[in-house]
Amino acid sequence: MHELPLTHRIFAQAMKAAEENGAVRIDAVYLKVGEMRDFIEEITQKYWDHISKGTIAEGAKVRFIRVPAAAGCSSCGEIFNFDWRSKAVTICPKCGSTDAALYSGSELEVVRIAIV
């Protein structure tokens, strides 16, 4: 259900960009979405289809670019992917440290709007 307000915001951003660029149609919106985000493509597209009816965005596709969960080791600087669903402690594969910070995986941003 949280996809609806976020889709509204994405739609508003796309419409603003289209207006600023004199577009007659929005073909697609590309989103960078971290895999830790509970944001579902099919639901987002359904909401988009509903919100965009009768606008220049009607028929546009919402495309997801998934970003894996990665951590940065505070000890050696290694950046590595990890299974964020696992309850196991995240361990750096290079030095074995458990002192790591989230590097990627929580993103949610519009990275491109394809307009005509």
Binding-site entries? 2, 73, 76, 92, 95
- In the annotated binding site for Ni(2+), the residues are 2
The label of the residue with tokens 């997801």 reads: 64
Distances (CA, A) of 87 to 38, 67, 82, 91: 18, 20, 11, 12
Known binding residues for Zn(2+): 73, 76, 92, 95
